[in-house]
Amino acid sequence: MNNSEIIVVYSWTANEGKAEELQTIYKEVSAQMKANEPDANRVECYFDSNLNKLVVIDFFKNAEAVGFHLGTTANNHFGSLLQIAKPGPFLFCGDIPEAIQTATKEMGLDATFAPHQFGFTK
């Protein structure tokens, strides 16, 4: 991970009978991020059908890209997602500015903010 990269790991648990709709919305979210968010570097989605849980890993170039995502794509889909699934928890990995931390709290997200400490890349 470079010094400014932000990785966000989170999950959504679909309400009964809403697993397919949750996945469909996230396909749209991923497509919109790819098309409209130049500093969203990668999105990975995994689905546990036993728990109806979608696990998402977003890779952003920097904190500004996270803020842009929260104000655009995420904001556009958040209301519909809340109607069909339970969010969280959210883990923000990297240096997240206080304004973004406050915004996530105002959205009611169960969020943890963990600055990078150590690791390696091969």
pLDDT value for 48: 98
Mean pLDDT of 61-71: 95
User: What pLDDT was estimated at residue 79?
Assistant: 94
Confidence at 53, pLDDT banded by 50, 70, 90: very high
Is it the case that residue 47 has pLDDT exceeding 70? yes
Computed over every residue of the chain, the mean pLDDT equals 95
- Tell me what pLDDT residue 108 has: 87
The owner of tokens 């109806």 is 52
Q: For strand 53-60 and strand 40-48, is the pairing parallel, antiparallel, or unpaired?
A: antiparallel
DSSP 24: H
Residue 33 burial (CB count, 10 A): 22
Tell which CATH architecture fits domain 6-114.
Answer: 2-Layer Sandwich (3.30)
For position 107, what pLDDT does the model report?
A: 86
CA 42 to chain centre: 11
Give me the residue spans of the domains in the chain: 6-114
What is the pTM (predicted TM-score) of this model? 0.93
Please name every residue paired with 90 in a beta bridge, in sequence order, or none if there are none: 10, 111
| pLDDT at residue 25, rounded to an integer | 97
